[in-house]
A and B are shown apart, each in its own frame.
Chain A
Amino acid sequence: MFGYALLLIIAMSLIAYFVGRSAGSRFATNSQEKIHSLPSYHGAFVAVWVGIPALILLLLWVGLQGTAIDQLLLSSLPEQMTEGASASQLNLYLQEIHNVTTGRVFGEPSPEIKAAAERLIRWEAIARWAMLVVILALTIVVLMITRAQLSPRFRARNNVERIVSGLMIFCATLAILTTLGIIGSLLFEAWAFFQMVPVSEFLFGLNWEPQIPIREDQVAAAGAFGAIPVFTGTLLIAFIAMLVATPIGLLTAIYLVEYASDRVRSTVKPIMEILAGVPTVVYGFFAVLIVAPAVRDFGSVLGLAVSPNSALAAGGVMGIMIIPFISSLSDDALNAVPRAMRDGSLAMGSTRSETMLNVLLPAALPGIMGGILLALSRAIGETMIVVMAAGLIANLTFNPVDSVTTVTVQIVTLLIGDTSFDSPKTLAAFALGLVLFIITLCLNVLAIRIVQKYREKYD
């Protein structure tokens, strides 16, 4: 029905456009006065006014229809059923009614439910047709009103342009809305979590066992939400990743900037871009299939007991993923150093390595630091590699051959499958998400600051 309504709106807007345009061109030929706007602007003016309000109405209708009908259904149920019933009980009734209408019946539903299901089917049919009729009526009324406004001196172009500007501003603020949405949803759910688990326990507790007791009197599985082992695991893996990526990335950038011929540069750079473009789920599979067994075999040669999902394998592969990130940002930073500094150093007789290490690197250091911080925030927020290659159990350890878990792994494992928004297990994921968001945001802001300051210095 949504599709038909959309088609109807598009058709009505098209009709409105042609009505407006033909009116406009009639002004142009018949009128004695000079007309203000081109005929197509008259058309666009009518079309926009017909289309946009109808579209908003459609979205509101689709969004609210479900809840409105549910409310009506509840109030139509016999009073002895709804009186004193809790919200979850009422929800159960609704669920049952909806199930009956789709034919998924378990056991014989009560006659009240059956009657309600019939009402539901009837009302939904009515609502569908009502939506079409209301939209049609709205578009026709608006079409007539706006058509009546058209005249030779009518400023159709300015009107249309004002509306277009408004739409553009709305689109630009969507970025802010997204951020607000992220912050709002994370804060809201995390707040609910902190009602159940105190903030201090979450931030400083040493035990992470996110279970929920199935029965009230269950002793063993009460669950513990101390996130310190999760944080240390994240840091350990990110640290290993940076340990792999920073030297390789930085040396790659140094070679490309100072030593490489144009031909080498034009082959190595696209390869680095490929490395950057490989989806992370591919790296995750690579870690599980190749790197983890290899690390394990190597460990057993040395006589080390390496866990099958060691931090070393996950961190190492994450490092590979980050190499192109560091190399391209360092490359930019090194290239941004003014040429005169480099030429001056070479002219004084320094070798290329002396120029690089004593002149270019110190000058580019803030930019490189910014790049490394950005890469670190990327490593902390990276999900798929660790979900596939790191462990699920939170160990408080800094041993790289042990299995550790990370913030992102916990978020994904807590939320995969059916989620109900009232258990601490689900909400814990949002608390972790909030911490992750705050940390990566701080790192990003800091890095962008550093990079920008440094750029201004040489501009």
Chain B
Amino acid sequence: MSTTAPTSTDSFWHSEAAIARRKKRHGADRRLQIFGITAITIAIGLLGILIVSLVSTGYQAFVQTEIALPVNVSSEEVSRDDPSKGDYRDLIRQALHAEFPDVGDSEFRQLEQMLTRNAQFIVRDRVVSNPSLVGQTTTFHIPMADPIDQLNKGVISAETPEDRRRVSNVQVELFDQMEQRGLVSTPFNWGLFFNADSRFPELAGLAGAIVGSFYALLVCFLISFPVGIAAAVYLEEFAPKNRLTDIIEVNINNLAAVPSVVFGLLGLAVFLNFFGLPRSAPLVGGMVLSLMTLPTMIIVTRASLKAVPPSIREGALGMGASKHQVITQHVLPLALPGILTGTILGLAQALGETAPLLLIGMNAFITSPPGGIMEPATALPTQIFIWADSPERGFVARTSAAILVLLGFLITMNMIAIFLRSRLERRW
């Protein structure tokens, strides 16, 4: 009788060797699980770092430091009949002298630089739009220059030695003085949404980029929506199974994976160089984006068409409708929610696309919102790229803020798509 052999299965499973084996195997199982959790945590953590860093650098750009400065728009300097002419720079100087009488000549230049360099034009535009201001003293809220803005927001600290910050001691003192006198305010920065681009961070806004993106997306939608639906309907409902349709299908799948910068090269060579369309125009941007979204559009539309049960088609055909009537009157209306959802998601993707727009020149420096699809413009992502490249400290916060605005648009579009899907889509 051997004692080593197990007498029953029970003791075999409970032998030390078996327990050790099992432990090892379960340990391996737990390890894989922990690896998986770690991987997910890393991915989510990275997304968290991304969002936190954007918010923490960007939230400050949503407010802007302003100074309340009473300016006497004297009728000697500015004529009532033609207020656009006049030495507004001198007006500002006089106002500063009146407000800070004890600032010496040597320090006055530094005081002047605390205001945005476009202060004179801000006052001029207000007076031009309201000529009754001439001859009166009005308090203007003028944005302060970028370094002062940073000082107020705590990015630049007064503790740092003077030669290592861009604000002089005189300016720090003056700023404290202004604050004590209640001249400084930090209201919500509407300029971020309603100003166009500017070389000065305190004045730069997204209006031009938002309008440019809107025009480009409009063109993209007007082209890719009808063309995408028509192509998808043909391929799904009409196309005979032959070489040509096979080639088209392989083609569409491959186009969906072509790098976006290649579409930019196409736009540059064909639309700009061959057809001679204007550079930087939202029309060209929209056309390039529509070529990019077309494959997605076709794939999504085909999926929604496929989801409409054949009984609908057969019922309509049985009632004597022609094939075209079946599709336009029965299949397409039923597939429309799915198509719309896909369209919005495709447009959201197009909104974030940057590289092709860079190649067709939608990264120009443009200081007024475009008036139409043929005028030079920037788009939101290209504006982010321009600002990210700008050396001024203030543009870091502006870039993050612009990214937050872009992400806001993307989230809104996705929410609409999700809403449409849940409200309108029918399950068969």
> Which residues of A line the B interface, CB within 8 A?
63, 66, 157, 161, 164-165, 167-169, 171-176, 178-179, 181-182, 185-186, 188-189, 247-252, 254-256, 258-259, 268, 271-272, 274-275, 277-286, 288-290, 320, 323-324, 327, 351-354, 356-357, 374, 377-378, 380-384, 387-388, 408, 411-412, 415-416, 419, 421, 429-430, 433, 436-437, 440-441, 444-445, 448
Contacts and interface: CB of A to CB of B under 8 A. Distances in A.
A178 B266 contact: yes
Interface stretch (B25-33, B143-151, B161-169, B332-340): B25-33
A288 B257 contact: no
Nearest to B57: A289
Contact of A289 (B253, B353, B396): B396
A171 to B, nearest CB: 4
Contacts of B57: 289
Given A171-B234, A290-B50, A384-B355, 18 more contacts: A168-B234, A172-B239, A174-B227, A175-B251, A247-B39, A251-B40, A252-B36, A255-B37, A268-B44, A278-B352, A279-B406, A284-B388, A353-B28, A353-B29, A415-B359, A421-B273, A440-B262, A441-B258
Interface in B1-59: 25-26, 28-29, 31-33, 35-40, 42-44, 46-47, 49-50, 53-54, 57
A383 B354 contact: yes
30 contacts: A172-B234, A172-B248, A181-B266, A185-B270, A186-B262, A186-B269, A251-B39, A259-B33, A275-B43, A277-B349, A278-B352, A281-B388, A282-B54, A284-B385, A285-B403, A289-B400, A357-B32, A377-B259, A381-B258, A383-B260, A383-B261, A383-B355, A408-B261, A408-B355, A412-B261, A416-B358, A421-B273, A436-B261, A440-B262, A444-B257
Contacts of B359: 411-412, 415-416
Interface string B57-97: 10000000000000000000000000000000000000000
Q: Shortest 6 CB-CB distances between A and B: which pairs?
A: A381-B259, A255-B36, A279-B352, A185-B269, A251-B39, A383-B355
Among A272, A352, A383, A448, the one with the most B-chain Cβ atoms within 10 Å of its Cβ is A383
A440 B257 contact: yes
Contacts, number: 252
A351 B324 contact: no
A388 B388 contact: yes
B353 A174 contact: no
Nearest to A374: B257
A173 B248 contact: yes
B259 A436 contact: yes
B39 A248 contact: yes
B390 to A, nearest CB: 12
B407 A252 contact: no
A248 B28 CA distance: 18
Given A279-B410, A412-B358, A66 B276 contact: yes
Contacts of A249: 39
Contact of B43 (A165, A248, A277): A248
A348 to B, nearest CB: 13
B196 interface: no
Contacts of A176: 247-248, 251
B25 A354 contact: yes
A283 B53 CA distance: 12
Interface in B381-428: 381, 384-385, 388-389, 396, 399-400, 403, 406-407, 410, 414
B43 A281 contact: no
Given A268-B44, A429-B265, A279 B270 contact: no
Contact of A281 (B25, B37, B257, B354): B354
A282 B399 CA distance: 9
A361 B254 CA distance: 27
Given A168-B230, A251-B38, A278 B255 contact: no
B126 to A, nearest CB: 30
B197 to A, nearest CB: 16
B354 A285 contact: no
Interface string B126-161: 000000000000000000000000000000000000
A288 B264 CA distance: 24
A425 B385 CA distance: 23
Contacts of A181: 266, 270
Interface residues of B, number: 88
Majority SS at the chain A contact face: helix
B363 interface: yes
Interface in B260-290: 260-266, 268-270, 273-276
A380 B32 CA distance: 30
Contact of B258 (A256, A289, A437, A448): A437
Nearest to B226: A171
A274 B47 contact: yes
Contact of B47 (A66, A255, A275, A281): A275
A255 B50 contact: no
A354 B227 CA distance: 50
A165 B269 contact: no
B255 A63 contact: no
A286 B54 contact: yes
Contacts of B265: 182, 185-186, 411, 415, 429-430, 433
Interface string B214-229: 0000000000001110
Given A255-B40, A275-B47, A353-B28, A433 B254 contact: no
Nearest to A189: B269
Contact of A286 (B53, B323, B381): B53
Nearest to A415: B359
Nearest to A319: B46
Given A63-B275, A255-B40, A286-B53, A381 B403 contact: no
A255 B403 contact: no
Contacts of B348: 277
A157 B329 CA distance: 14
Contact of A381 (B47, B261, B388): B261
B233 interface: yes
Contacts of A387: 355, 358, 385
B322 interface: yes
Contact of B39 (A161, A252, A277, A324): A252
B366 interface: no
B300 interface: no
Nearest to A430: B265
B291 interface: yes
A179 B385 contact: no
Contact of B32 (A185, A254, A281, A411): A254
A161 B259 CA distance: 37
A290 B52 CA distance: 11
